[in-house]
Structure 1
Amino acid sequence: MSRVPLTGWKLGYHALTFVLVVGLLMAPALWNGYPLIYFDSEDYVEMAFSLQPIIWRIMTYGVFCTIAKAFGTLWAVPLAHAILTTWVLHEAVMGFIGRWRHMVFLGVGLALALFTGLPWVSSQVLADVFAGVAILGVATLAFGEGLQTWRRFCLMVITAISICVHMSHVAVAAGLLLVLVVVWLGSRFMLRMPRPRMFCPVAAIVGGILLVPLTHQLLMGRFVFSESGQVLQLALFIQNGMAKRYLDEVCPQGADLEMCEHKDELPRTADEFLWGPSPFNEMGGWTAMHDEASQIVSGAIRTFPAEVLQAAWANTWEQLNSIESGEDLVPMTWHFVRTQLRRYPDEFKQFRFARQQRRPPIDFFAMNSFQIPINWGAELLTPILLAVAWKRRDRTTTGLAIIVVAAIIGNAIVCGALSNPHDRYQNRVVWLALFTAIIGAVRLDQRFAGQRRIAIRMENEALAVEAARGKNVSS
């Protein structure tokens, strides 16, 4: 059943809360004086203008950044982030909450702005904000109630866009598709299990996944997802020692690998191998190393399966615990300057005098000191909330909690075990735990309030009947 449409002052108040949440999600960029720039931002801004591939990036977020090119300002990117994120938050609250929705929506916006790093993620020229948006979009399409058809369609489009802008989002979304199938099958045998709506979330996930190779086919002439995955996996194996161990095993036996000549020169971290002084470029870089990287990775997995699994578990656990805000938001006094001057020269003064470029750099210690315990608490509370909702047969909260728990773990696996643990990878999705905790608490309170109202009404009716009986007897 659809919710009653908002009219009059309620519609105006609702619109005001929407604008306020958009402002909250843009607050770090406004405070900074310019959108926050990450090291990867340069590549995406350049792709927005050239529409030419960069082998270690997928092009979909570069296409998204053409919105800044169209408006002639990089401010368009964090504004688009904030509007799309607020829209999905709004639809999620509308789908999961029955009463006082506008108040809950504003409260959720305030809580996420104060107690999570979501506004800082939203204010960056980076695809990270869409990681959590995609997950919440899938959960709302599957378990949200009362959304009109046109709103579901808009939510499907935003969710698909959120999935396609980064390969890690694609991987997590594919995992959520399997989770939805399992939950749907389970609902046929267990009455407590929520039954998800399948068409809309499946369409959004499949559409988002296919947008990646379709975009590459249109712009590059190649129907591919990524041309750098094997090299990135090799870098991770270098970091956890599996590559060196495999090379020590096969190189003395005459393996035809160029890396055998450099196995004793390998750096300690994946980032140093790819971006620092290492033999990587000497061996041909991303293109030349693709096939050899695949051979080394697959060979290490076959030769040391238990050790690779142990390293993957360690990386996943490290990623789950890495949730700090502000990773690598350092002064860009050299990295982004040329791109800024070439693409947005009129905004160079804003960029140059933004707080991000000042010394000392932005200090996130105070913010992380209270946000991290809150987010850890929310992550611990979400499985408990799932158990309570399951016991009380609250299928909507159960479905939301299942998706969020699965996505947080899945994101840690994809970014930790398959890529390289970084705080920003988990920070971009951990806010979903606090969102779920708030929604679950509100739904539980409203459910108890509804039960209390029913009990009071029944008690009043019983007293009225008793009074009527007494009056009849006395007469």
Structure 2
Amino acid sequence: MAFTKGNAVRDSPVECGSADSPPFSAPKPWWVRLLITLLGAFILFVPTMLNRDVFLYWDTPTYINGAETGLAKLFGEHFGLTPSRVIPTAGLGSTSGGVYLAGRSVYYGALLVAAIVAGSLMIVAAVQALVVSWVILFFFRVFLPGREGCALLSMVVLTIFTPLGYFVGLAMPDVFAGVIILLITTLLCGWRQTGLADRGVAFAVLSFAMLAHNSHPPLAFLTILAGCIFIRPGRGAGISVIRPVMLIGIAVCAGLVGEVVFTRVATHAIGVPPVRLPFLSAHLQEMGPGTTYLNSHCPQAHFEICNDRARLPVDWRDFMFSTDPVTGVFALADASAKRRISGEQVAFALAVLKDQPVATVGGLGVAFVKQLTMFRVQEIYILDTVAPWLPPAEYRRAMQSVTAGLGNLEQVLTVFTYVTVSLSVLALTAAVIRARMSGELARGSMLWSATKIVIAGLIINAAVCGIVASPYDRFQARVIWLLPLLALAHLAAMSRRRRPALPETVSKASNA
């Protein structure tokens, strides 16, 4: 039997190698699904409404600055939103001095600028709430069809007890990291349960997510690899795996092409290419092996940071952003030195690895494990530093928000998050034990295959961020809500299996 209007054929074998396909559930009309999605978006948008503004981060003005600078190049210098396109990071967020950053997506910045022009940055939070609501409901429609109520209840729990509501309202692309993991999982494991409309929306969301931050393409690529490993090919499954991989791969390529286009256009317009932050150098010198290498091989090594070895090691953030002469390195360097530090970071990392392989690999392994357990919610109350660099109307709105005052939201949300994640681990462990005893895990149901891929995505995110950059709570906090979502999905699945069929339903089924 097949359903029209974007609903997929349901009598095909399940891609994840399972004989346990989701039970039949008649599709709801499009307008009902739209209303449910809007209701979910409203739930996720509540923290932003209660705050009376979006949540801001140190880099938010940098994203706005980059897009605004590009628009000024296109439409003239009269186009201006912010008080100044030079923000207080020693030229790291502007074209002054010939230095401007890659990695602060001009595409996400364009979304912020469009929202400002339309009236408020809260529009960005509303868009992000709508995207996350659709993705969570898409996940439930594929793996637990007919359980929209459980999906909405899950959004309530995630909004209150995890950082999801905060990241939905944060004027940063962080929330798209979790969206990427969940969408890739849903497409890989549930391709035949999706229709053309679902695939089109998923492709659009993934493509923008790839453009929103340069950490997203490697996260997506590695999650695809993990998915292909965990999917157990069944009869006819190979074709259905190839198709979602191709769709996701095109979206990843869109992100890479967008980065190349930005670099070429910006280089042509400004005269010099953008500069990437030296995350690898900052991490290695703080970790220890980098500083040891510099002390042993400078000045013969001829790396630019040899000139700063006397003040090393310092915190990796101070290395890149501090303007204090005692701790700052990259931000204090002139334009040519910045470019050399940035351009030499891969060669420096390889030299350190060759010189101290055990210490380097061991240190990176520790950083990865540490990142797995770091997901505190921090830096909500930073408006006094960030807000002055926003457009005047946004500045006034920010200073009237709840987070403009002192508060303990960070501590409360951090406690809620760690407790919720701990309970989720226990719930998933109990579900694994139950599934092993019942044989469900051996049969490889769709939901269990999806669970493995999502957990792999969480581990990959920790590896990408903790190793390439440095362990930092925000990096894992942006995706940790996926673990409670899995636990809630399994609880919903168990409650459905325990529910006895109504006699009338059984009678109709037998007659059919």
**TM-score normalised to structure 1 length:** 0.84
> Which residue does 2:473 correspond to in 1?
423
> Which residue does 2:48 correspond to in 1?
29
> Which residue does 1:407 correspond to in 2?
457
Quick one: structure 1 residues 309 and 446, their matched pair in 2 at CA, closer, same or farther if it must change by over 3 Å? same
Residue-by-residue CA offset, 1:52-86 (whole Å, 9 max, x unaligned): 76335233322333441452321211011001111
Residue-by-residue CA offset, 1:334-373 (whole Å, 9 max, x unaligned): 33313322xxx3x432222112222x24532223223312
Cα distance in 2 for partners of 1:115, 1:221 equals 43
Q: How far apart are residue 174 of structure 1 and its match?
A: 1.0
> Which residue does 1:51 correspond to in 2?
70
Q: 2:59 matched to 1:40? A: yes
Q: 2:285 matched to 1:266? A: no
Cα distance in 2 for partners of 1:214, 1:92 equals 28
> Which residue does 1:149 correspond to in 2?
196
> Which residue does 2:89 correspond to in 1?
none
Cα distance in 2 for partners of 1:333, 1:54 equals 23
Q: 2:172 matched to 1:123? A: no
Report the AA paired with residue 364 of structure 2.
Answer: A
Q: Which segment is superposed worse, 426-435 or 257-266?
A: 257-266
Match of 1:106 among 152, 159, 177: 152
Quick one: structure 1 residues 231 and 174, their matched pair in 2 at CA, closer, same or farther if it must change by over 3 Å? same
Quick one: structure 1 residues 382 and 304, their matched pair in 2 at CA, closer, same or farther if it must change by over 3 Å? farther
Identity of aligned residues (%): 20
User: Are the equivalent residues in 1 in contact too, given 2:380–2:410 (CA < 8 A)?
Assistant: no
User: Are the equivalent residues in 1 in contact too, given 2:103–2:214 (CA < 8 A)?
Assistant: no
Residue-by-residue CA offset, 1:409-461 (whole Å, 9 max, x unaligned): 111111111111111111111111111111122223323446x779x979xx9
Q: 2:113 matched to 1:61? A: no
Name whichever structure is richer in helix by fraction.
Answer: 1
Cα distance in 1 for partners of 2:58, 2:179 equals 22
Match of 2:250 among 207, 210, 222: 207
Q: How far apart are residue 383 of structure 1 and its match?
A: 6.0
Cα distance in 1 for partners of 2:248, 2:275 equals 22
Q: After the TM superposition, which residues 159-238 of structure 1 pair with which residues of structure 2 at under 5 Å, given as runs?
A: 159-184=206-231, 186-187=232-233, 197-221=240-264, 231-238=278-285
Residue 478 of structure 2 aligns to a residue in which SS? helix
Report the AA paired with residue 26 of structure 2.
Answer: V
Cα distance in 2 for partners of 1:319, 1:228 equals 26
> Which residue does 2:343 correspond to in 1?
291
Match of 1:356 among 395, 400, 403: 403
Cα distance in 2 for partners of 1:398, 1:416 equals 27
Residue-by-residue CA offset, 1:13-54 (whole Å, 9 max, x unaligned): x54443332122112211111111110101112223223763
Report the AA paired with residue 488 of structure 2.
Answer: I
Report the AA paired with residue 303 of structure 1.
Answer: D
> Which residue does 1:313 correspond to in 2?
365
Give the RMSD, CA atoms, in angstroms: 3.1
Residue-by-residue CA offset, 1:368-419 (whole Å, 9 max, x unaligned): 2233121133245446645755731252112211111101111111111111
> Which residue does 2:143 correspond to in 1?
96
> Which residue does 1:332 correspond to in 2?
383
Report the AA paired with residue 298 of structure 1.
Answer: L
Q: 2:27 matched to 1:5? A: yes
Quick one: structure 1 residues 282 and 121, their matched pair in 2 at CA, closer, same or farther if it must change by over 3 Å? closer
> Which residue does 1:255 correspond to in 2?
301
Quick one: structure 1 residues 410 and 441, their matched pair in 2 at CA, closer, same or farther if it must change by over 3 Å? same
> Which residue does 2:16 correspond to in 1?
none
Cα distance in 2 for partners of 1:414, 1:453 equals 49
Residue-by-residue CA offset, 1:246-300 (whole Å, 9 max, x unaligned): 1122126x22233223212124210011111223245445323123323221100
> Which residue does 2:180 correspond to in 1?
134
User: Are the equivalent residues in 2 in contact too, given 1:324–1:427 (CA < 8 A)?
Assistant: yes
Quick one: structure 1 residues 55 and 169, their matched pair in 2 at CA, closer, same or farther if it must change by over 3 Å? closer
Larger Rg: 1
User: Are the equivalent residues in 1 in contact too, given 2:371–2:473 (CA < 8 A)?
Assistant: yes
User: Are the equivalent residues in 1 in contact too, given 2:43–2:155 (CA < 8 A)?
Assistant: yes
Residue 302 of structure 2 aligns to a residue in which SS? coil
Q: How far apart are residue 91 of structure 1 and its match?
A: 0.9
Residue 298 of structure 1 aligns to a residue in which SS? helix
> Which residue does 1:470 correspond to in 2?
none
Report the AA paired with residue 440 of structure 1.
Answer: H
Q: Which segment is superposed worse, 57-66 or 386-395?
A: 386-395
Which structure has more RCO (C-alpha within 8 Å, separation ≥ 6)? 2
User: Are the equivalent residues in 2 in contact too, given 1:67–1:76 (CA < 8 A)?
Assistant: no
User: Are the equivalent residues in 2 in contact too, given 1:139–1:403 (CA < 8 A)?
Assistant: yes
Residue-by-residue CA offset, 1:289-330 (whole Å, 9 max, x unaligned): 1233232211001111111111111111111111122x1112
Residue 36 of structure 1 aligns to a residue in which SS? coil
Report the AA paired with residue 451 of structure 2.
Answer: A
Cα distance in 2 for partners of 1:331, 1:296 equals 34
Q: How far apart are residue 200 of structure 1 and its match?
A: 4.8
> Which residue does 1:397 correspond to in 2?
447
Quick one: structure 1 residues 215 and 96, their matched pair in 2 at CA, closer, same or farther if it must change by over 3 Å? same
Residue-by-residue CA offset, 1:221-266 (whole Å, 9 max, x unaligned): 1699x965571111111211121011122126x2223322321212
Residue-by-residue CA offset, 1:152-194 (whole Å, 9 max, x unaligned): 221222123223312222221111121133234x536xx9xx9
Structure 1 segments unaligned to the other structure (5+ residues): 462-475
Cα distance in 2 for partners of 1:87, 1:150 equals 12
User: Are the equivalent residues in 1 in contact too, given 2:57–2:382 (CA < 8 A)?
Assistant: no
Quick one: structure 1 residues 219 and 323, their matched pair in 2 at CA, closer, same or farther if it must change by over 3 Å? closer
Quick one: structure 1 residues 230 and 428, their matched pair in 2 at CA, closer, same or farther if it must change by over 3 Å? closer
Q: How far apart are residue 205 of structure 1 and its match?
A: 3.0
User: Are the equivalent residues in 1 in contact too, given 2:217–2:256 (CA < 8 A)?
Assistant: no
Residue 256 of structure 1 aligns to a residue in which SS? coil
Report the AA paired with residue 281 of structure 2.
Answer: L
Cα distance in 2 for partners of 1:46, 1:356 equals 23
Structure 2 segments unaligned to the other structure (5+ residues): 1-8, 11-24, 72-99, 268-272
> Which residue does 1:467 correspond to in 2?
none
Residue 109 of structure 1 aligns to a residue in which SS? helix
Cα distance in 1 for partners of 2:355, 2:427 equals 40
